[in-house]
Chain A
């Protein structure tokens, strides 16, 4: 099983709403990632969790709050977002908690629209 699943597939929210994105993998991977991808652009790294601890935060605004409840799950909590936060949010995982040569396996993404 080399699948990373993400829910929901689509999300529309207002600027005052609170919502969460969910990511799950059952490959025993020890690193999990959140990326943001705007249209016709490459993915931009937001956060990295290694062995369930936040190891990288790419200066992401606090209205995005990641959480790793266990080694298989990764959440992204959203609050008071802006319209410019509308994008495809991709989750990925890799086997090792130390990065480098490991392939990152991507989920299909959640397409977020902020009104």
Chain B
């Protein structure tokens, strides 16, 4: 069985400070890894995903995540956050060949002025 752990339910950080949102997964089969963001009263939007190749993936709005196979982690980082980054962030895995996302419980990022 697969599982995803996001240990931090809330992360407060001041504007322009760096942030790391942690994600660890457990799986006996190969998986694909995703980060989704959910702004208040909206659906989920894909931030970035790791399928294969380079272990460092980047999004267009300055986030990056690094796949670490040995530590089974896929932490999300941003060197300088903005107020507009305040949202819920979900890490998810999909076992190869299936439809079903296994979501973590989410991390609420709150950026403070």
The interface of chain A, by Cβ under 8 A from chain B, is: 4, 6, 31, 33, 40-43, 45, 48, 50, 55-56, 90, 92, 94, 98-101, 103-109, 111
Contacts and interface: CB of A to CB of B under 8 A. Distances in A.
A90 B44 contact: yes
Interface stretch (B20-28, B60-68, B71-79, B95-103): B95-103
Most chain A beta-carbon contacts within 10 A, residue among B99, B103, B104, B105:
B99
A100 B94 contact: yes
Contact of A100 (B44, B45, B97): B97
B42 A56 contact: no
A100 B32 contact: yes
Interface residues of B, number: 24
26 contacts: A31-B99, A41-B105, A42-B90, A42-B92, A42-B103, A42-B104, A42-B105, A43-B44, A43-B90, A43-B101, A48-B99, A56-B99, A92-B44, A99-B94, A99-B98, A100-B96, A100-B98, A100-B99, A101-B51, A101-B94, A103-B34, A103-B49, A106-B44, A108-B41, A108-B43, A109-B43
Given A31-B99, A42-B105, A43-B44, 10 more contacts: A4-B43, A40-B106, A41-B106, A56-B99, A99-B94, A101-B51, A103-B34, A106-B36, A108-B42, A108-B43
Contacts of B43: 4, 6, 90, 92, 106-109
Contacts of B100: 45, 48, 56, 99
A105 B44 CA distance: 8
